[in-house]
């Protein structure tokens, strides 16, 4: 077996990628990503014990978070870049060990001698490093532990990877929390011990959900602190004449820096994919040359970027193998990377110079003419919704609004996702749809109208804005003096990668029941584990829009 990976929804045959990743990563990259996780565990084992003695180090903290984020689906496909990070991990591990040993000595305690992976030593050459990675893939654990225990361990790990992505976005904007970093170290240290108790593993998975809730709050605070609270905003989705740059991914700071550097150049900037919600932030939409959104979700980028007559900037995960037609026009930054693609690294102080992107945009033809104006409305995060909460509550009490549906999550290319389009279209006209993440592209350009001036489709934002959705639900529950599970609210979610896993664990941590999940269930969740989740939370796979709607609307 050259590799084994089953962390995303599109994994081959619904069981696992064993030759090459459906995402585009090869076996070497997969092995190095697995090895990077082991390096993160090694650092975390010492950092966890050091923190218990009051010793912390921000370089150590950030390394662990970024190492996990690098291994999220569709982030970093560059073997040499990952290898460099692995080798740096050994140095950071030594720093964490020194931190722990010094703190133990100061406390009059003898430091523990830790077992593997704490003693990890990376090879000097790339082929041997890849061989090291092949020795720690999950295939052997799956065989040794069985699908239930191995699946629970990976449920925890994948949720932690998703939370790490959000934590990194927050710390880039200067918002971090020592307890959150400590949570990452604690969970990785736990996994490094090879736990096998199913009940304990399930409890830890929910603890990851709790950690992710704190992380999403940090990111919400970071984004709104830097750029203001999103406002309902009419967004153009058809191009305008002129030179152009399209920005994809999730990172608001990268977009902000690019907007500042392109001011006065005559270049129009467009968002793509999960960057669409950026157009609702006051601190970003104030730039007049941020003209709208181009294209849809991540899986359509190769076709859309080929047709885009300008430069392309990928800020975080969601990159696919670039086509030759635009390989010279695409750039990466942050943790995202593809071999041969020009990478914009951060300079002193964390700032970035996007001059290469700007030069390519100015040399490209740009759009020759305005296309007919088309718009959608975004920006219904928690502040915007809560500003009209009184009207919403009254509409529910009057029977004008019968139910709320949260239809959101990741989009993807695998067949079956038309379910979400069909479901949204069949939602009764006296019901409101909340949506977030790139799954919204399945239906966000359809006309849904309004109910007494309240739009029937409320775009809450990015995937991490599940925090906003949770806060909206909690506020409504308070207004109606009931629990969230007693609200006229149904969750119909789509998943693709590990951030969706983190959000699902957060919802389960909050005790939210009756979630419908699709388009297929995670390959790492065995039937036995699914039975536990079904029994405790009544989580269930989606079936058909007609059957699911009939079951939901038939509830009292």
Question: Do 44 and 183 sit in the same domain of this protein?
Answer: yes
pLDDT averaged over every residue in the chain: 96
The Cα 65–Cα 152 span in angstroms is 21
**DSSP assignments along 316-338, one per residue:** SS---PPPGGGTTTEEEETT-B-
Q: Which residues contact 359 (CB under 8 A, 6 or more apart)?
A: none
Residue 231 CA: distances (Å) to CA of 281, 295, 379, 383, 387: 6, 22, 5, 8, 11
Q: With a threshold of 0.95, does the pTM exceed it?
A: yes
pLDDT score of 238: 98
The Cα 364–Cα 361 span in angstroms is 5
Please choose, from the candidates 249, 234, 237, the residue with its C-alpha nearest in 3D space to the C-alpha of residue 312: 249
Can you state the percent helix, strand and coil of the chain, rounding each to 5? 50, 15, 35
pLDDT score of 140: 86
Cβ atoms within 10 Å of 325's Cβ, excluding its own: 11
Question: Do 247 and 199 sit in the same domain of this protein?
Answer: no
Residue 375 located in a structural domain: no
What is the domain extent for residue 443?
387-553
pLDDT score of 349: 84
Q: What is the DSSP letter of 33?
A: H
The Cα 446–Cα 427 span in angstroms is 13
The Cα 59–Cα 74 span in angstroms is 25
The Cα 168–Cα 163 span in angstroms is 9
The Cα 168–Cα 63 span in angstroms is 10
Residue 406 located in a structural domain: yes
Mean pLDDT to the nearest integer, 335-346: 97
Residue 157 maps to which CATH number? 1.20.1270.20
Question: Do 523 and 396 sit in the same domain of this protein?
Answer: yes
pLDDT score of 556: 56
Whether a cis peptide bond, with omega within 30° of 0, leads into 46 is no
Output the six-digit token pair for 52: 């218990």
Residue 424 maps to which CATH number? 3.40.50.2030
Q: Which long-range contacts (CB under 8 A, 24 or more apart) does 193-198 make?
A: 195/153, 196/145, 196/149, 198/148, 198/149, 198/152, 198/532
Question: Do 102 and 64 sit in the same domain of this protein?
Answer: yes
Residue 4 located in a structural domain: no
Residues recorded for the chain: 556
Question: Do 162 and 47 sit in the same domain of this protein?
Answer: yes
The Cα 14–Cα 328 span in angstroms is 34
The Cα 129–Cα 257 span in angstroms is 36
pLDDT of 242 higher than 80: yes
Confidence of residue 280 (pLDDT cuts 50, 70, 90): very high
Summarize pLDDT for 97-121 with one digit per residue, the tens: 999 999 999 999 999 999 889 999 9
Q: What are phi and psi of 124, to 5 degrees?
A: -80, -30
Strand, helix or coil at 517? strand
Looking at the structure of the chain, the number of domains it has is 3
Q: In what order do the strands lie in the sheet with 342-344?
A: 290-293, 267-271, 243-248, 311-314, 330-333, 342-344
Residue 200 located in a structural domain: yes
Buried b / exposed e across 254-290, counting CB within 10 Å, b at 16+? bbbbbbebbeeeebbbbbbbbbbbbbbbebbbebebb
Summarize pLDDT for 391-405 with one digit per residue, the tens: 999 999 999 999 999
Q: Which residue has the tokens 């929804």?
A: 9
Q: Which long-range contacts (CB under 8 A, 24 or more apart) does 119-128 make?
A: 119/42, 120/38, 120/39, 120/42, 120/89, 120/90, 120/93, 121/90, 122/35, 122/39, 122/86, 122/87, 122/89, 122/90, 126/79, 126/80, 126/83
Q: Which residues on adjacent β-strands are paired with residue 352?
A: 346
Confidence of residue 546 (pLDDT cuts 50, 70, 90): very high
Output the six-digit token pair for 490: 């149904």
Question: Do 105 and 203 sit in the same domain of this protein?
Answer: yes
pLDDT score of 45: 98
- Angle of helix 138-172 relative to helix 58-70, nearest 10 degrees, comes to 120
Residue 465 located in a structural domain: yes
Residue 369 located in a structural domain: no
Cβ atoms within 10 Å of 541's Cβ, excluding its own: 13
Q: What is the DSSP letter of 372?
A: P
Q: Which long-range contacts (CB under 8 A, 24 or more apart) does 325-332 make?
A: 328/360, 329/305, 329/360, 329/364, 330/305, 331/356, 331/357, 331/360
Question: Do 352 and 279 sit in the same domain of this protein?
Answer: yes
Residue 424 located in a structural domain: yes
Question: Do 346 and 296 sit in the same domain of this protein?
Answer: yes
Q: Which residues on adjacent β-strands are paired with residue 378?
A: 233
Confidence of residue 453 (pLDDT cuts 50, 70, 90): very high
Question: Do 53 and 195 sit in the same domain of this protein?
Answer: yes
292: left (phi over 0), alpha (psi -120 to 50) or beta: left
Question: Do 416 and 487 sit in the same domain of this protein?
Answer: yes
Residue 397 located in a structural domain: yes
Question: Do 101 and 160 sit in the same domain of this protein?
Answer: yes
Summarize pLDDT for 154-185 with one digit per residue, the tens: 999 999 999 999 999 999 999 999 999 999 99
Output the six-digit token pair for 2: 């050259």
The Cα 409–Cα 428 span in angstroms is 21
The Cα 456–Cα 468 span in angstroms is 17
- Burial (0-12, 13-18, 19+ Cβ within 10 Å), 351: exposed
C-beta of residue 313 within 8 angstroms of C-beta of residue 354: yes
Strand, helix or coil at 453? coil
pLDDT of 507 higher than 90: yes
| DSSP H or E stretch at residue 435 | strand 431-436
Confidence of residue 1 (pLDDT cuts 50, 70, 90): low
Output the six-digit token pair for 552: 């939901």
Please choose, from the candidates 101, 79, 93, the residue with its C-alpha nearest in 3D space to the C-alpha of residue 31: 79
Question: Do 351 and 408 sit in the same domain of this protein?
Answer: no
């Amino acid at each position: 077996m050259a590799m084994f990976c089953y962390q995303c929804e599109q994994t081959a045959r619904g069981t696992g990628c064993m030759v090459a990743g459906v995402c585009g990563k090869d076996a070497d990259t997969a092995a190095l990503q697995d090895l990077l996780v082991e390096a993160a565990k090694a650092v975390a084992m010492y950092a966890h014990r050091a923190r218990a003695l009051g010793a912390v180090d921000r370089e150590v903290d950030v390394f662990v978070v970024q190492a996990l984020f690098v291994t999220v689906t569709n982030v970093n496909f560059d073997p040499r870049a990952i290898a460099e990070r692995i080798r740096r991990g050994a140095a950071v591990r030594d720093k964490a060990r020194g931190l722990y040993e010094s703190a133990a000595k100061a406390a009059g305690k003898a430091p523990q001698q830790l077992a593997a992976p704490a003693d990890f030593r990376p090879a000097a050459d790339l082929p041997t490093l890849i061989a090291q990675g092949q020795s720690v893939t999950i295939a052997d654990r799956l065989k040794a532990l069985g699908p239930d225990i191995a699946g629970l361990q990976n449920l925890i790990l994948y949720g932690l990877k998703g939370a790490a992505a959000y934590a990194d976005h927050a710390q880039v904007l200067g918002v971090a929390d020592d307890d959150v970093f400590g949570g990452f170290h604690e969970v990785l240290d736990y996994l490094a011990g090879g736990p096998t108790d199913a009940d304990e593993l399930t409890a830890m998975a929910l603890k990851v959900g709790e950690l992710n809730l704190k992380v999403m709050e940090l990111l919400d605070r970071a984004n709104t602190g830097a750029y203001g609270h999103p406002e309902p905003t009419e967004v153009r989705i058809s191009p305008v004449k002129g030179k152009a740059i399209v920005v994809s991914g999730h990172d608001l700071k990268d977009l902000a820096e690019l907007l500042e550097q392109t001011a006065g150049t005559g270049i129009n900037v467009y968002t793509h994919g999960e960057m669409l919600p950026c157009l609702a932030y006051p601190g970003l939409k104030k730039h007049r040359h941020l003209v709208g959104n181009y294209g849809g979700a991540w899986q359509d980028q190769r076709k859309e970027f080929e047709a885009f007559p300008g430069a392309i900037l990928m800020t975080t995960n969601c990159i696919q193998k670039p086509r030759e037609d635009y390989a010279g026009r695409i750039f990466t930054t942050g943790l995202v990377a593809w071999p041969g693609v020009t990478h914009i690294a951060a300079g002193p102080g964390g700032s970035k110079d996007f001059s290469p992107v700007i030069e390519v945009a100015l040399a490209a033809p740009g759009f020759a003419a305005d296309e007919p104006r088309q718009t959608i409305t975004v920006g219904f995060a928690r502040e915007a919704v809560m500003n009209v909460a009184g009207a919403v509550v009254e509409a529910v009490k009057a029977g004008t609004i019968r139910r709320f549906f949260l239809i959101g999550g990741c989009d993807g290319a695998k067949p079956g996702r038309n379910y979400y389009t069909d479901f949204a279209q069949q939602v009764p006209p006296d019901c409101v749809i909340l949506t977030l993440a790139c799954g919204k592209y399945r239906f966000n350009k359809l006309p849904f109208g309004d109910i007494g001036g309240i739009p029937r489709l409320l775009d809450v934002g990015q995937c991490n804005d599940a925090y906003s959705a949770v806060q909206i639900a909690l506020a409504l529950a308070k207004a109606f003096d009931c629990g969230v599970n007693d609200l006229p609210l149904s969750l119909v979610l789509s998943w693709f990668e590990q951030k969706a896993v983190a959000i699902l664990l957060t919802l389960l941590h909050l005790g939210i029941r009756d979630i419908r999940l699709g388009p297929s269930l995670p390959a790492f969740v065995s039937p036995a584990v699914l039975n536990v989740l079904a029994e405790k939370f009544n989580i269930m796979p989606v079936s058909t829009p007609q059957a699911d709607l009939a079951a939901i609307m038939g509830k009292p």
